[in-house]
Amino acid sequence: MSFIRYTTTYNVDENGHSHFSIDMDDVTTKCMHSFCKDPEEWIKNSIVSRSQEEGNRIYKSELDRHIEAGTMPANPTKESLILAYEIPVQETSNTA
């Protein structure tokens, strides 16, 4: 059993905005403070860095797809292409 205890909540509203919260116990908080000076900044930086990386991947993928298919929308922006991207559905296998 892990000595790290925390709970999280994640909700997405009808506008596509989301709210994420994490509650860490005293041990988890102590570990995070030992790992980095400001856990809140580290968490925010992790979200921004990973989202930026994924956004760039999606944008390139959508540009390539539209160029190849000749379906580029009028006046596309990075944001509009990312928001129009459809996340592939991953099927799960029930084989044991």
The answer to whether 6 and 23 are in contact (CB under 8 A) is yes
pLDDT at 26: 97
pLDDT at 92: 80
Q: Looking at the domain assignment, is residue 1 inside a domain?
A: yes
Q: How many CA atoms lie within 13 A of 38 on its CB side?
A: 6
Q: Looking at the domain assignment, is residue 71 inside a domain?
A: yes
The answer to whether 85 and 62 are in contact (CB under 8 A) is yes
- CA 79 centroid distance within chain: 15
The overall longest dimension of the chain from CA atoms, in Å, is 55
Query: Is 50 in the same domain as 66?
Result: yes
Structure confidence by residue, pLDDT tens digits, 21-77: 999 999 999 999 999 999 999 999 999 999 999 999 999 999 999 999 999 999 999
- pLDDT of 95 over the 70 cut: no
Domain that holds residue 70: 38-86
